[in-house]
Amino acid sequence: MKAAILSIFVAASAAFQGSNDATNEITADNICGELGAINLGPNELPGHVSLEDVRTCAQHPLGRNRTLDLSDEASVPPAYVNQSMAGNEITSHVRRLAQDSCYFGAPYGCSKGYCWKACGSTPGKWCWTAAGGGYGKWNQCASYEDCGTDDARFSCGAFCGKHCGCSC
């Protein structure tokens, strides 16, 4: 009897393991989820970008949720911080800005660990920046000093449309 129960357990365990391997397949779609996977062929990229340098997920992890609150992981160059808006005034001012709002205060900055910059011909538009002409990894930062406006290193993110591209 024990041998029969043991053989049933072994067979059931093997069947479960086989189905478990199939459902745990690692794909870009599984990794990215709602961020959407970037699926490109080598002929779909500009000449200066290699397929190995393209990030896996299209959308930015923060979406359009950029904070400009200097007390909440935001950083802009000091020349662009309005000195008359000290302490709570600047906090309350930037909290009034909606996540998709245009922003005219600085040409670039750091928000919750990611770089952004002003872009486009319409004043106030901004985008999250990415390496490799916008196709690579999102530019990460500890402060505005890690960010910039140079298109070679800080391009607006590609493949993400309004959610992380140049808009407001």
Q: Give 117's contacts (C-beta < 8 A, 6+ positions apart).
A: 107, 108, 109, 126, 127, 129, 147, 148, 149, 154, 156
The per-type count for the chain, helices as H runs and strands as E runs, is 3, 5
Gap between the Cα atoms of 135 and 77, Å rounded: 26
Least confident of 54-58, 97-101, 119-123: 97-101
| Burial environment of residue 164 by CB neighbours within 10 A (0 to 12, 13 to 18, 19 or more) | buried
String of DSSP letters for 19-79: HHHHHT---HHHHHGGG-B----GGGS-TT--GGGS-SBSS-TTTT-----TTTTEE--GG
pLDDT digits (tens, 9 = 90+) for 68-108: 888 888 899 888 876 333 343 444 444 444 445 788 889 99
Type and span of the H or E element at 2: helix 2-23
pLDDT digits (tens, 9 = 90+) for 26-39: 888 888 988 989 88
